[in-house]
Amino acid sequence: MLRKILTLAAGAAALTAASLATTPAMAAGKNICVSWKTFQEERWKTDEAAIKAVVEAAGNKYFSADAQGSAAKQQADIEGLITQGCNVILVVAFDSDAILPAFQAAADAGVKMISYDVLVEHPDALYVTFDNVGVGRLMAKTMLEKGKQEGNFAFIKGDKGDPNATFLFQGIMEVLKPNIDAGKIKNVCETFTDGWKPDAAQKNMEQCLTSVNNKVDAVISENDGMAGGVVAALEAQGLAGTVPVTGQDGDKAALNRVALGTQLVSVWKDSRVLGKAAAEFANMIADGKANTDIPNVGKFNSGAKGVEVNAVLIAPNPITKANLNDVIDGGWVTKDEVCAGVAAGSVDACK
């Protein structure tokens, strides 16, 4: 019994020592911290690299926590980061509503918050993002300009709990509304996809095609991962390449599909640009700048609650066959990765 108590005590002592050892020193440089909603998707490591580079170049320190897709864990993560002495916390919120108390706690503790890519409707937080409604608008615009203007449209949306899925759809519908009202575009399938999962998107698309006997003329997929599943389903029906599909994120596999012609567009949000900008703002804010003094800042109140926040909206770049060079020259992907399997001479960027 005594042995057990001693072991427990020793363990506790070791844990305390370890946590003390990792507490950042409050001395030189500011502490810029990031709370990720999940690290499971492809793009976030690119954001992290960009943020880290800018933070460390300014002589500040970078810390992060991964909430692994749980709102509860993210709250605990933020509280932990506040305790550790962060000056500015960038948050990619998993659940924008559930995280509000953590934002308030930060404000109370004098820690500055930046909502990164996902809107959190707290008046004191700076919202830095690609214009998601804008992304949706771009998807729809590109579809109308380079894909189809009329016919049966299928909409494969993202996770029902993710506000971005709704923002995207908002933007898409804004642009398509005139054609829908005129009866030129018919919405034949519209579905959310659990967790944005590609294999779930594949099954949803298969059932959609079955329900309308393959009479689908275009598919709006809200991201590249799901677009992969959609294209797989279309391919099994011999429709890949003739039915245009949209996507976003600039995933390597998606860019390859754009070159091959099975995907129409991937709206590229160069997360390096976003990360760099957000990190620069974080450095400024840590040094005392106010949100309203951030370059290119504007007012944003298109959230569900209509709370007005200061925001910097960065313009995304829709990548189609015509401008694949943007991603290649920008160092985002290599020419080989984009052009794998492309017939010689069919795509300019692959020559």
Question: Which parts of this chain interact with other proteins (CB under 8 A)?
Answer: 39-45, 160, 189, 191-195, 197-199, 202-204, 206-207, 210-214, 224-225, 228-229, 232, 235-239, 242, 251-253, 256, 340-341
Among left, alpha and beta (phi > 0; psi -120 to 50; other), residue 249 is left
The CB-of-218 to other proteins minimum distance in angstroms stands at 15
Q: Which residues pair with 90 in a beta bridge?
A: 34, 114
- The residue among 191, 121, 181, 123 whose CA lies nearest residue 156 is 191
Nearer to other proteins, 138 or 239 (CB): 239
Q: How far is the CB of 152 from other proteins (least distance, A)?
A: 12
Label the pairing between strands 31-36 and 88-91.
parallel
Nearer to other proteins, 124 or 194 (CB): 194
| Closest CB to other proteins among residues 214, 323 | 214
Q: In whole angstroms, how close is the CB of 301 to other proteins at the nearest point? A: 29
Tokens standing for residue 22 = 């990792």
Helix and strand numbers (H, E) in the chain are: 12, 13
Instruction: Indicate the residue among 48 and 79 with the shorter CB distance to other proteins.
Output: 48
Q: Which is nearer to other proteins, 113 or 234 (CB)?
A: 234
**Bridging pattern class, strands 112-116 and 298-300:** unpaired
Smallest distance from other proteins to CB 192, Å: 6
* Shortest Cβ 40–other proteins spacing (Å): 6
Long-range interactions of 209-213: CB distance < 8 A, separation 24+ = 209/233, 209/234, 209/237, 209/239, 212/152, 212/188
